[in-house]
Chain A
Amino acid sequence: MSRITIDPITRLEGHGKIDIFLNEEGDVANAYFQVPELRGFEQFCVGRLAEDMPVITNRICGVCPEAHHMAASKALDALFNADPPLAAKKVRELMYMAFFVTDHTTHFYALGGPDFIIGPDAPPAERNILGVIRKVGLDIGRQVIDCRSRNHHVIKTVGGRSIHPVAGLPGGWSRPITVAERDEIVGVAKQNIDFALFTLKIFDDIVLKNPTYLDMVTSDTYSHQTYYMGLVDGQNRTNFYDGQVRVVGPDGTELVKYHPRDYASHIAERVEPWTYLKYPYLKAVGWKGFVDGADSGVYAASPLSRLNVADNMATPLAQEQFERFYETLGSSRINGRYQPVHFRLATHWARLVELLYAAERMLELAEDPEITSPDLRTKPGAVTGVGIGCVEAPRGTLTHHYEADERGVLTRVNMIVGTTNNYAPMTMSIKKAAEQIITKGKVVEEGMLNRIEMAFRLYDPCLSCATHAAVGKMPLRVNIRDCSGEIIRTVSRG
Chain B
Amino acid sequence: MRTIVVGLGNPILSDDSVGIKVAGLVKQRLAGSVGVDVIEAYAGGLRLMEAIAGYDRAIIVDAVKTGDHAPGTIRKLSPDSLSRTRNTLCTHDGDLPTALALGRDLGLKLPDSVEIIGIEVDEVEQFSEELTGEVAAALPAAVDEVLRRCGMIKP
Contacts and interface: CB of A to CB of B under 8 A. Distances in A.
A and B interact: yes
A41 B12 CA distance: 9
Interface residues of B, number: 41
A333 to B, nearest CB: 35
A129 interface: yes
B102 A470 contact: no
A469 B13 contact: yes
Given A38-B125, A164-B42, A59 B94 contact: no
Interface of A: 8-14, 36-41, 43-44, 56, 59-63, 65, 106-107, 110-111, 128-130, 133-134, 138, 141-142, 145, 148-149, 152, 163-164, 460, 462, 468-475, 494
A474 B10 CA distance: 14
Given A128-B94, A128-B98, A40 B126 contact: yes
A472 B125 contact: no
Nearest to B121: A473
Contact of B46 (A106, A462, A469): A106
B154 interface: no
Contacts of A138: 105-107
18 contacts: A41-B127, A43-B127, A44-B12, A56-B12, A62-B10, A63-B90, A63-B92, A106-B93, A129-B94, A129-B99, A145-B46, A145-B108, A163-B47, A471-B10, A471-B44, A472-B43, A473-B87, A494-B95
Q: Does more than half of chain A's interface fall in helix, strand or loop, or is it mixed?
A: loop
B91 A472 contact: yes
Nearest to B15: A470
A277 B105 CA distance: 41
Contacts of A59: 10-12, 42
A142 B106 contact: yes
> Which 5 residue pairs spanning A and B have beta carbons closest together?
A62-B42, A62-B43, A44-B127, A110-B93, A470-B10
Contacts of B107: 138
B21 interface: no
Interface in B95-141: 95, 98-99, 101-103, 105-108, 124-128
Contacts of B87: 473
Most buried by B among A10, A163, A471: A471
Contacts, number: 137
A145 B87 CA distance: 22
Nearest to B12: A59
Nearest to B42: A62
A233 B128 CA distance: 38
A130 B90 contact: no
Contacts of B127: 38-41, 43-44, 468
Most buried by A among B44, B99, B105, B106: B106
Contacts of B124: 470, 473
Given A14-B91, A470-B9, 19 more contacts: A40-B127, A40-B128, A59-B10, A60-B10, A65-B42, A110-B45, A111-B92, A128-B98, A130-B102, A133-B106, A134-B105, A138-B105, A468-B127, A471-B9, A471-B10, A472-B92, A473-B16, A473-B124, A494-B83
